[in-house]
Amino acid sequence: NAGVTQTPKFQVLKTGQSMTLQCAQDMNHEYMSWYRQDPGMGLRLIHYSVGAGITDQGEVPNGYNVSRSTTEDFPLRLLSAAPSQTSVYFCASRGIDYTFGSGTRLTVV
Amino acid sequence: AQSVTQLGSHVSVSEGALVLLRCNYSSSVPPYLFWYVQYPNQGLQLLLKYTSAATLVKGINDFEAEFKKSETSFHLTKPSAHMSDAAEYFCAVSESNGNKLVFGAGTILRVKS
């Protein structure tokens, strides 16, 4: 089925570890974005991309890196995880409307 | 910069009662406005959107919202609440090109039997 696929669904990291959250879409959408969701704060934009090779920062970019080498993929990298990055992460792509992935629940201990 | 304020982090209604979830926005340009619903441990589902056409927008599951420019509001309503409406609801605003969707803090709707 067409949509946005996020992997993994759950992850536990130790402080200082690195990891990449994967996001892939098969709808040929140019625009993709990453959000983090924290209780009482809604979803906050981390990074976004308007097409392959083009990325930009959102509201809370510190501690996260992104790249966009293909239209389909938009991975989010945590270079040195911190407890403050414990959150639920959502990837979204946009054609006419936004399509959200099912999320990655990340815990940093 | 665009921003969204949702009034009331928790709203409780009885089954069959009117649902009213409040949203006010701030935008320096004509906005696109959205309401999303999130059920526990799931992603977000679009309920409805305003993109400068009709000010009264109808969405799925009998939800509707009215864009009021003078009040900078986009409140969500449903005439009769169902138990299945219990979820968290997010109001959001984007630039006129649809980029950089900005969310409110969310309102958790509880439906009492």
Q: Residues A58-101: pLDDT tens digits? A: 999 999 999 999 999 999 999 999 999 999 999 999 999 999 99
Q: Residue B70 has which token pair?
A: 């003078």
Contact: B104, A94; criterion CB under 8 Å: no
**Backbone angles phi and psi of A85, in degrees to 5:** -90, 5
Is the Cβ–Cβ distance between A16 and A30 less than 8 Å? no
How far away is chain B from the Cα of A2, in angstroms, using its nearest Cα?
15
Window 50-89 of B, Cβ < 8 Å to A: none
Chain B residues touching A33 at Cβ < 8 A: 100-101
For the stretch B8-67, pLDDT in tens is 999 999 999 999 999 999 987 778 999 999 998 888 999 999 988 789 999 999 999 999
Of the candidates A92, A96, A19, the one whose C-alpha atom is nearest the C-alpha of residue B32 is: A96
Does residue B31 belong to the interface with chain A, where contact is any CB pair within 8 Å?
Answer: no
Which helix (H) or strand (E) element contains residue B91?
strand B87-94
Q: Using DSSP, state whether B59 is helix, strand or coil.
A: coil
- Give residue for tokens 């009213």: B20
Q: What is d(CA B55, CA B66) in angstroms, rounded to the nearest whole number?
A: 6
List residues in chain A touching B: CB distance below 8 A.
31, 33, 35, 40-45, 48, 50, 58-59, 90, 92, 94, 97-98, 100-103
Q: What is d(CA A51, CA A55) in angstroms, rounded to the nearest whole number?
A: 8
Strand A98-100 and strand A104-108: the pairing is unpaired
Of the candidates A11, A20, A47, the one whose C-alpha atom is nearest the C-alpha of residue A32 is: A47
